[in-house]
């Protein structure tokens, strides 16, 4: 009972910038305000996908991830702009600086959203007044709109910020979830995608309330460990704390590409997989990471998405091994439908220096060769301290482009610089 009281007594904000990239462009060029605009990865090519779009564009049926050609068909007057990541990066820095002027308990989760724990803020303002002040400052100082969710935990705060856009401030208390949260369809629940939703539909669960009331055993049988977690959150419980340092955590490394044209030639698809796995391996190497799970993402010409994964006892980071697993997953599961998009990801990654490979009949000889060296290293560390000697190959991470995802390129380095000042 004590722990529940501690969790529910927090006041958590989720700040979600509204159509961030499009809003930044409208701020830089006021002539774009009130017009249907969209940011596309490559506006001139079929493979161009909308990264985001203004609310004026959304009113015409345009939405994020829509292809350029389809967006132009729905909205011929749509203004297409290439992304300007440096511009968005500067705006993100300014946004988070505003948030940190209220409290240091700010957790960035992407370039345009973050959590705040405002429980311990002293002063005369209520939580609603603080949220209104933040929203007003972001609009007047940066010319950027946002929505804010206020709740006793991160899940409910995230849910609340989605309930009123743009420029909404929504309070969601646990006592109100049966009226506000439970009637919503399962797809509206944070953490439920199309694949999970289909599994929930298959056992007769249509709304978030259905998840909240479902038998935990049935959910676990259908969704694994994610089932009980969803039930807990559907009932309004989430014990995750706002963690300003979580921005540094890397959980997966992946790469995907939209093909120039729908492809069904096996030779060409194999070339795409080799390119994707090479990029993933380069990033893993640059960050000195490895993971036990390889997954692939497939989107066919009918926009049907599917994914397959395989996990291993040992961690994987080498290009040839990643390709072998990814290609096997693809060839075993591909139904011959022309392919529009492919992706490869290695997940549950950890720093290679922190893991010990599982011994097997295939690698025990290798371990036997290095065991005397490891014993010597351990002996020296015990005598002189762990920082005095480390395994050389894990000493330095490459500060190269390969070490950066789009998230770290736009945001992570800025937060590191802030901490080092």
DSSP for 69-109, please give it.
Answer: HHHHHH-TTPEEE---HHHHHHHHHHHHHHHHTT-S-EEEE
Q: Which of 45-59, 202-216, 239-253 has the highest mean pLDDT?
A: 202-216
Residues 247 and 415: their CA atoms lie apart, in Å, by 8
**What pLDDT is attached to residue 4?**
35
CA dihedral defined by 247, 253, 258, 263, rounded to 10 degrees? -160
Average pLDDT of span 70-82: 94
pLDDT at 401: 41
Give the whole-angstrom CA distance, residue 63 versus residue 57.
Answer: 8
Contact 153/10 with Cβ under 8 angstroms?
A: yes
- Note the pTM of the prediction, 2 decimals: 0.69
Please, where in the chain does CATH 3.30.1490.100 lie?
251-356+396-403
Q: What is the mean pLDDT of residues 267-291?
A: 91
Q: pLDDT tens for residues 89-121?
A: 999 999 999 999 999 999 999 899 999 999 999
Q: Confirm or deny that 112 is annotated as ligand binding.
A: yes
> In the CATH scheme, what is the code of domain 182-234?
1.10.150.20
Given 56, 107, 113, 285, which residue is catalytic? 113
> What is the CATH code of the structural domain delimited by 20-84?
3.40.1170.60
DSSP 8-state code for residue 388 = G
Split at pLDDT 50, 70, 90, the class of 48 is confident
Tokens representing 217 are 């055993």
Separation CA 51–CA 394 (nearest Å): 36
With a cut of 60, say whether residue 369 has pLDDT above it: no
Q: What is the mean pLDDT of residues 280-307?
A: 88
Active-site residue, 113 included: yes
* CA distance linking residue 10 with residue 203, whole number of Å: 35
Angle of helix 413-420 relative to helix 85-100, nearest 10 degrees, comes to: 40
Longest CA span, the chain = 72
- Please report which residue ranges of 251-363 form alpha helices under DSSP H: 266-287, 319-333
Percent of the chain with pLDDT over 90: 59
- Smallest Cα–Cα separation from 113: which of 52, 29, 60, 192? 52
Mean pLDDT of 182-195: 91
Task: Specify whether the CB–CB gap between 240 and 152 falls below 8 A.
Answer: no
Residue with more model confidence, 49 or 299: 299
Which residues of the chain form CATH 1.10.150.20?
182-234
> Six-digit token pair at 168?
């909404």
Sign of CA dihedral 27, 31, 37, 39: negative
Q: How confident is the model at residue 324 (pLDDT cuts 50, 70, 90)?
A: very high
Q: Which pLDDT value is given to residue 188?
A: 92
| Fold type of domain 251-356+396-403 | Dna Ligase; domain 1 (3.30.1490)
pLDDT tens digits, 133-155: 999 999 999 999 999 999 999 99
Q: According to CATH, where is 3.40.1170.60 located in the chain?
A: 20-84
**Token output for 365:** 């000889």
Name residues whose C-beta falls within 8 Å of residue 6's C-beta, 6 or more positions apart in sequence: none
For the cut 50, the answer to whether the pLDDT of residue 128 exceeds it is: yes
pLDDT, position 419: 54
d(Cα 66, Cα 275) in Å, to the nearest integer?
25
Estimate to the nearest angstrom the gap between the alpha carbon of 92 and the chain centroid. 16
φ, ψ for residue 335, nearest 5 deg: -100, 10
Instruction: At 239, list the tokens.
Output: 């014990």
| Domain(s) of CATH 3.30.70.270: residues in the chain | 2-18+87-176
- Please tell me whether residue 361 adopts helix, strand or coil conformation: coil
Which class for 86: exposed (0-12), middle (13-18), buried (19 or more C-beta within 10 A)? Answer: exposed
Asked whether 222 and 202 are in contact (CB, 8 A), the reply is: yes
Contact 45, 65 (CB under 8 A): no
Rounded-to-integer distance, Cα 142 and Cα 411, Å? 17
Determine the Cα–Cα distance for residues 309 and 373; give it in Å rounded to an integer.
36
- Given a cut of 80, whether residue 334 has pLDDT beyond it is yes
pLDDT at 398: 45
CATH of span 2-18+87-176: 3.30.70.270
Helix axis angle, 85-100 relative to 127-142, nearest 10°? 150
């Amino acid at each position: 009972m004590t722990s529940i009281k501690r969790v529910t007594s927090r006041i958590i904000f989720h700040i979600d910038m509204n159509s961030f990239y499009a809003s930044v462009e409208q701020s830089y060029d006021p002539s774009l305000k009130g017009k249907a605009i969209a940011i596309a990865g490559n506006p001139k090519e079929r493979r161009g996908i909308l990264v985001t779009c203004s609310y004026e564009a959304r009113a015409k049926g345009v939405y994020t991830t829509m292809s350029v050609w389809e967006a132009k068909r729905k909205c011929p007057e749509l203004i297409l702009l290439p992304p300007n990541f440096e511009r968005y990066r500067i705006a993100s820095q300014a946004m988070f600086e505003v948030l940190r002027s209220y409290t240091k308990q700010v957790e960035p989760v992407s370039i345009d959203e973050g959590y705040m724990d405002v429980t311990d803020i002293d002063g005369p303002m209520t939580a609603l007044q603080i949220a209104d002040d933040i929203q007003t400052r972001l609009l007047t100082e940066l010319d950027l709109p946002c929505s804010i969710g206020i709740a006793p935990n991160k899940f409910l705060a995230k849910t609340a910020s989605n309930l009123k856009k743009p420029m909404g401030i929504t309070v969601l208390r646990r006592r109100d979830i049966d009226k506000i949260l439970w009637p919503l369809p399962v797809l509206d629940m944070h953490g439920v995608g199309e694949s999970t939703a289909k599994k929930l539909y298959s056992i007769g669960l249509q709304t978030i309330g259905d998840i909240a009331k479902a038998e935990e055993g049935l959910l676990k049988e259908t969704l694994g460990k994610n089932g009980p977690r969803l039930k807990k959150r559907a009932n309004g419980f989430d014990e995750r704390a706002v963690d300003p340092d979580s921005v540094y955590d890397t959980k997966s490394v992946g790469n995907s590409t939209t093909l120039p044209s729908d492809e069904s030639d096996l030779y060409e698809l194999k070339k795409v997989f080799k390119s994707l796995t090479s990029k993933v391996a380069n990033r893993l190497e640059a960050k000195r990471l490895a993971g036990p799970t390889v997954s692939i993402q497939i989107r066919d010409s009918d926009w049907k998405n599917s994914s397959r994964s395989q996990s291993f006892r040992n961690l994987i980071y080498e290009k040839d091994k990643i390709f072998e697993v990814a290609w096997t997953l693809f060839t075993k599961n591909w139904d011959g439908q022309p392919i529009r998009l492919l992706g490869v990801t290695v997940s549950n990654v950890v720093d290679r220096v922190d893991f010990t490979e599982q011994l097997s009949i295939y690698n025990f000889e290798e371990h036997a060769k290095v065991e005397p060296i490891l014993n010597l290293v351990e002996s020296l560390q015990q005598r002189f301290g762990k920082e005095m000697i480390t395994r050389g190959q894990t000493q330095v991470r490459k500060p190269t482009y390969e070490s950066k995802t789009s998230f770290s390129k736009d945001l992570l380095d800025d937060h590191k610089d802030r901490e080092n000042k």
